[in-house]
Amino acid sequence: MKKNFFLHHPSVPYVLFIGIQAAIFTSLYNGYLFHAPGWGQIICPFFAFANTLMCFYLLFLWWPAAVIVTPIFYLMAAIGSYYYNLYKIDINHSSIAFVFETHFFEAREFINWDNALWTILSLCIAFFWIIYSKLKPIKKPHYAFTILFLLLLIIINFGIFDAKWYRNIYPTLSSQMRYSKIFPINVIKGIRGYYGELYKIKSMGPIINCAATPSTQTFTDKDLTIIFIIGESARADHFQLNGYTRETNPRLVKEHNLINFPQTVSFAACTRYSVPVMITPSDSAHPKIKYSSFIDLFNKYNFETYWISLNDALGTNNNQTTRLLKNIDHTAFRESMHLEYELAQDEVLYPLLISALKATASSKFIVLHTRGSHYAYQKRYCKKSRKFVPDTNKDNTVKKNQITINAYDNSIVATDDFICSVIDNVRDDNAVVIYASDHGESLGEDGYYQHGNPKRIEQRMVPFMIWCSDTYIARHKDKFLNLRNNTKLQVSHDYIFPTTLSLAGISSKLMRGGLDLSTSSARPGSGTSGIIGLTANLTTREDEKIPKHTRDR
């Protein structure tokens, strides 16, 4: 009698429909949780199932909402789970920003037949549920039942598994049950966090112009050229200059006027956070972007300013870097150059650089924002930089991870050639060339790839170097010697803003004391807390990391 009553309860068909959908969704997109240690193989998937059940339970209460949101859930889960399983990229507001702020050409490099078919299959499943619920309407559960059922799920999710006491008792299991790893909750939280961040950017109000703050010129060189190269995804330990056993810097190692800072930490592990700090007075101690970039100060002192970038101008509303580029004399982005994304290697910046150098303006400040070593690595270099092979997945004689490292190292060789070619164009001038990467890159350490995780040491240790021409050294020998004497300091992106201005003879009250590497008063450690101490773990034995037969061509 009771059994018959349960089967015919009006809420049961709806719960079964949602439960089956949640179980399939959990198996498809949260399947890695079944590999958790011990009892986690049961508890972790159940946690994901309970969250998914709660989402779809609410969603299908109103069919129009289910029609719109369900395909989005499946689409985001298909894409996100594929790249999480492949690269261990968590879904959060940063990764959502990567999706929303990217463009077709960049996204296309991540698309292959595997993820395309996986995405299509996922969308088919989503539309199956929608069509099924339309053709066979399921009676909605009673309000009282819905309240009690959702209350039970809330208690399970937030009162037990997400509670502080549970996480303290079971820290290992709790690390597997973070919302950033569970679909579709992580997508919802990520989108909410992304738009929350956009709101914060808009609510910051107008940026204070750096040029409006007190500043002076300590010297005036009317023929001075400062070039700042912003690297992309370059990690310090893959630079030969920093002790890497592979010859990834065959040209830079021969530059006598090059000052290298081997212990440099990036502000963040992604471009959208690091670059604004590199070009403004903001730093690790004061990370909020309140002032404009140092370009306004260069403008104030009659430098002709240029921003030449292989990235796209994504708009002032959702890109913190573009937001800071309002007062530059000349700007050029990839789309304005009419370049196909695949052909946009760093060397295509040469013509624009040469054109800028030939301009009639006396002093110049030029920023070159490169593609550097951004994934896909094989597309970041041309044939002359293809030193380490195999570098494509067509070769089955070595492990896939070794192919990734080979391709990445080739991109570093290309960066080496690019930097030196820039130097060649100003070698006989009164000039300074500064290079610093925005962040590093994971290449399979502990299963991690690419960037976006600020806790990964290999994503935070970056190359940073300064080259000065003979003419500049002759005029400002004290600055060059101070740079050389400060190479052993532990530094970070915090030092770029004040050092760049100082090398140009500009002094501003916005320059925090102790961060100018061209002075004898520079102090170590700003922005390096919690990172530098881990550098011992970053060095990998090359005989373990690089098979001998793949060292070079």
**Which residues have a Cβ under 8 Å from the Cβ of 75 and sit 6 or more positions away?**
119, 122, 123, 126
User: Please, what is the end-to-end C-alpha distance for the chain in angstroms?
Assistant: 78
Query: Can you tell me the mean pLDDT for 23-35?
Result: 88
Which of the 8 DSSP states describes residue 112? -
The highest-confidence range among 11-20, 61-70, 235-244, by mean pLDDT, is 235-244
Residue from 461, 519, 521, 516 nearest 494 by CA: 516
When mean pLDDT is compared across 31-40, 166-175, 220-229, 431-440, the lowest value belongs to 166-175
pLDDT of residue 1: 46
H or E element: which one contains 115?
A: helix 113-135
pLDDT of residue 185: 80
Distance, in Å, from the CA atom of 187 to the CA atom of 184, rounded to the nearest integer, reads: 5
Confidence of residue 159 (pLDDT cuts 50, 70, 90): confident
Pair of tokens at residue 549: 């037969």
Long-range contacts of 14-18 (CB under 8 A, 24+ apart): 14/60, 14/138, 14/139, 14/140, 14/141, 15/57, 15/141, 15/149, 17/60, 17/133, 17/138, 18/53, 18/56, 18/57, 18/60
Prior bond to 184 cis, omega within 30?
A: yes
Label residues 7-19 b or e (16+ Cβ within 10 Å = b).
Answer: eeeebbebbebbb
Distance, in Å, from the CA atom of 20 to the CA atom of 15, rounded to the nearest integer, reads: 8
- Whether the per-residue pLDDT at 352 is higher than 70: the answer is yes
**Which residues have a Cβ under 8 Å from the Cβ of 378 and sit 6 or more positions away?**
391, 392, 407, 410
Which of the 8 DSSP states describes residue 208? B
Helix 63-87 × helix 113-135 angle, to 10°: 160
Instruction: Give yes or no for a contact between 161 and 29, defined as CB atoms under 8 angstroms apart.
Output: no
pLDDT digits (tens, 9 = 90+) for 160-206: 776 676 677 777 766 666 666 788 788 888 888 878 777 766 776 67
Q: Are strands 431-437 and 464-468 parallel, antiparallel or unpaired?
A: antiparallel
Pair of tokens at residue 154: 């809330």
pLDDT of residue 201: 64
Q: Across-strand partners of 230?
A: 369, 436
pLDDT digits (tens, 9 = 90+) for 1-15: 445 544 556 778 898
Which residue shows structure tokens 């590999």? 35
Which of the 8 DSSP states describes residue 141? P
pLDDT of residue 311: 81
Range(s) of the chain covered by CATH 3.40.720.10: 222-548
| The CATH fold of domain 222-548 | Alkaline Phosphatase, subunit A (3.40.720)
pLDDT digits (tens, 9 = 90+) for 135-158: 888 888 888 888 888 898 888 877
Instruction: Give yes or no for a contact between 526 and 490, defined as CB atoms under 8 angstroms apart.
Output: no
pLDDT digits (tens, 9 = 90+) for 403-447: 999 999 999 999 999 999 999 999 999 999 999 999 999 998 988
Query: Can you tell me the mean pLDDT for 65-91?
Result: 84
What type of residue is 412? I
At residue 180's C-alpha, the angle toward residues 178 and 184, to 5°, is 110
What is the number of other CB atoms lying within 10 angstroms of the CB of residue 346? 27
Pair of tokens at residue 242: 């920093």
Query: Can you tell me the mean pLDDT for 464-484?
Result: 97
More reliable by pLDDT, 295 or 155: 295
More reliable by pLDDT, 545 or 123: 123
Pair of tokens at residue 99: 């999706």
Distance, in Å, from the CA atom of 379 to the CA atom of 113, rounded to the nearest integer, reads: 18
Return the HEC string of 465-493.
EEEECHHHHHHCHHHHHHHHHCCCCCEEH
Query: Can you tell me the mean pLDDT for 39-53?
Result: 85
Phi and psi at 172, nearest 5°, equal -65, -45
- Whether the per-residue pLDDT at 94 is higher than 80: the answer is no
pLDDT of residue 28: 92
pLDDT of residue 91: 74
When mean pLDDT is compared across 85-89, 278-282, 286-290, 338-342, the lowest value belongs to 338-342
Confidence of residue 334 (pLDDT cuts 50, 70, 90): confident
At residue 388's C-alpha, the angle toward residues 387 and 390, to 5°, is 125
Long-range contacts of 87-90 (CB under 8 A, 24+ apart): 87/448, 87/449, 87/450, 88/447, 88/448, 88/449, 89/449, 89/450, 89/452, 90/178, 90/180, 90/181, 90/186, 90/452, 90/453
Tallying the residues shown for the chain, one arrives at 553
- Whether the per-residue pLDDT at 362 is higher than 60: the answer is yes
Please give the mean pLDDT across all residues of the chain.
84
Distance, in Å, from the CA atom of 46 to the CA atom of 187, rounded to the nearest integer, reads: 19
What is the number of other CB atoms lying within 10 angstroms of the CB of residue 69? 19
Prior bond to 126 cis, omega within 30?
A: no
The highest-confidence range among 96-105, 265-274, 327-336, 498-507, by mean pLDDT, is 498-507
